[in-house]
Chain A
Amino acid sequence: MDLSLQVNDVTVRYGGFTALDNIRLEVQQHTTLGLVGESGSGKSTLARVIAGLIIPDQGQVLLGTEPLSRKRTREQRKSIQMIFQNPDASLNPKHSIRQILAEALLFHKIVGRAEVEKRSRQLLERVQLEGKALDKYPHEFSGGQRQRIAIARALSVEPSLLIADEPTSALDVSVQLNVLELLGALKSELNLTMLFISHDLGVIHAVSDKVAVMRQGKLVEISPKDKFFSRPEAAYSRELLSAVPQMPTMKSSGGLHEPRT
Chain B
Amino acid sequence: MDMDDKVLESLLEEVAGLHEVPQGAYNIRLNGQSASRHSSANIEIVGKTDKPGIDIIIKPGTKNESVHIPAIVTQTDVHDLVYNDFYVGDDADIVIVAGCGIHNCGSQMSEHNGIHRFVLGKNSKVKYIEKHIGEGDGTGERIINPQTIIEAGENSYIEMETTQLKGVDSTVRITKASAEAGATVVVKEKILTHGKQYAETRFEIDLNGEGSSTNLVSRSVAKENSKQKFVSIINGNAKCMGHSECDSIIMDNGVVTALPEITANNVDASLIHEAAIGKIAGEQIIKLMTLGLTEAEAEAQIVNGFLK
Real complex partners, A and B?
no
Question: Interface on B for A, CB 8 Å cutoff?
Answer: none
Question: Interface on A for B, CB 8 Å cutoff?
Answer: none
